[in-house]
Amino acid sequence: MPNLNFVLPHWLYWLGLLAVPLLAMAVIRRGAGKPAQPVASLSIAYFLWLTGGFIGLHRFYLKSMLGLIYIPLFIAILLCNVEARETRNDLSRANNELTTAEFLEERAQKRLDEGRDGAAAQLDKARERGAAAVVAQAQAQSALDGWIFRVRAAALAILALMLLDAALLPKLYRRCRQLEGDGSQNRHVEVPCDPEFDPDAPVRGLVDRINDFTGNFVAYWSVIAVIVYYYEVLARYVFNSPTNWAHESMFLMFGMQYLLAGGFVLSRDGHVRVDVIYTRFSRRGKALVDVFTSLFFFIFASTLAWTGWVFFMDSFSVREVSFTEWGIQYWPVKFALPLGAALLLLQGLVRLLDDIATLAKREA
């Protein structure tokens, strides 16, 4: 199989973090309230053919069990690649052994020319070692060629089946529609509702909207993770070409997601806490506890905001990049520290004002 040498450009990484969520949110909102599409979609079938056709996903999507034909061929590629990797290790060891034997033979020959005792025996031993290494090298190379041939044969079979299915997909789609019918009746696309804007509390409404947008925005980064890890698994186990950027790009992305979504989670009261006793309080009792514990919250959030800003400025001043081979910029990642803390502080302030208002109202 050919090697994949693609390395994600830095500009494409940052552009993807901005563009993918905006595109996804626009598509979702555009379909809000409209009838859902039929159960089967030809465009989705072709998308699955392009991205997962090597295991027959497009046929399974269109309710064709002939997609099972792809599975043993794909498993054969995985197993042959495992054997090929082991054979490459054997070939590497044989090459190293041959190099060592050639070095020992050359040194023994010099000792023989100098007339030293035992040089002839050392020369014979080195030559025997080199001959054995040549045999092992030839055997490993032959075995490697055999495994590569099997991988290529299975890959060509999959490719031929995919090209055939590319022409048959419209027919399979019509057959699937006939079997399932139109599944769009009484089904509509649902989208998350934006928090309602309260004219009597404009600041709270504004903060809620900002954190709601931010939370939904970073949630769509999970879609990027699916695509990147899909590519990594495919490159590693099918093409023997593990990436040097997939894992780093994703754990940095999820770190930023964790920080930026803090305010959104607080607005939904979703942070983890021990509330065995808290749930038994009245509304005013809960508000009183929240006002008291908010002191610790603001200490933590303020410290995160201040130290995060210091980390960001230090990183930005030197245009810090990661120490890995990929070398991605670190200062945009560290900017998520003060930004996420600011969003968390704003939402915490809104909750504090609500709790104070609850305590001030006798009828509450």
Q: Mind listing the pLDDT tens digit for each residue in 168-189?
A: 999 999 998 888 765 444 454 4
If asked whether residues 173 and 315 sit together in one domain, one would say no
Once rounded to an integer, what is the mean pLDDT over residues 64-84? Answer: 92
- The answer to whether residue 31 scores a pLDDT higher than 50 is yes
How many residues in the chain? Answer: 364
pLDDT of 34 reads 60
Q: Mind listing the pLDDT tens digit for each residue in 285-297?
A: 888 888 888 899 9
If asked whether residues 227 and 352 sit together in one domain, one would say yes
- The answer to whether residue 88 scores a pLDDT higher than 60 is yes
**Structural domain count of the chain:** 2
| Sign for the pseudo-dihedral over CA of 314, 315, 320, 324 | positive
If asked whether residues 225 and 355 sit together in one domain, one would say yes
Q: 7 in a domain, yes or no?
A: no
Q: 17 in a domain, yes or no?
A: no
Q: 10 in a domain, yes or no?
A: no
- What percentage of the chain has pLDDT greater than the value 90? 56
If asked whether residues 257 and 151 sit together in one domain, one would say no
Q: Mind listing the pLDDT tens digit for each residue in 116-171?
A: 888 888 888 989 999 999 999 999 999 999 999 999 999 999 999 999 999 999 99
> Could you list the residue range(s) of the whole structural domain that residue 175 is in?
36-180
Q: 12 in a domain, yes or no?
A: no
Torsion-angle region of residue 269: left (phi > 0), alpha (psi -120 to 50) or beta? left
Q: 14 in a domain, yes or no?
A: no
The full 3-state SS of the chain, as one line of letters, equals CCCCCCCCCHHHHHHHHHHHHHHHHHHHHHCCCCECCCCCCHHHHHHHHHHHHHHCHHHHHCCCHHHHHHHHHHHHHHHHHHHHHHHHHHHHHHHHHHHHHHHHHHHHHHHHHCCCCCHHHHHHHHHHHHHHHHHHHHHHHHHHHHHHHHHHHHHHHHHHHHHHHHHHHHHHHHHHHHHHCCCCCCCECCCCCCCCCCCCCHHHHHHHHHHHHHHHHHHCHHHHHHHHHHHHHHHHHCCCCCCCCHHHHHHHHHHHHHHHCHHHHHHCCCCCCCCCCHHHCCHHHHHHHHHHHHHHHHHHHHHHHHHHHHHHHHHHHCCCECCCCCCCECHHHHHHHHHHHHHHHHHHHHHHHHHHHHHHCCCC
* Among candidate residues 148, 180, 212, the one where a domain is terminated: 180
If asked whether residues 89 and 170 sit together in one domain, one would say yes
Q: Please provide the average confidence, as pLDDT, over all residues in the chain.
A: 87
If asked whether residues 173 and 294 sit together in one domain, one would say no
Q: 308 in a domain, yes or no?
A: yes
If asked whether residues 163 and 256 sit together in one domain, one would say no
If asked whether residues 293 and 175 sit together in one domain, one would say no
Q: Mind listing the pLDDT tens digit for each residue in 220-276?
A: 999 999 999 989 988 888 888 889 899 999 999 999 999 999 999 999 888 877 777
* Among candidate residues 119, 147, 180, the one where a domain is terminated: 180
Once rounded to an integer, what is the mean pLDDT over residues 92-108? Answer: 91
pLDDT top residue among 36 and 225: 225
pLDDT of 364 reads 41
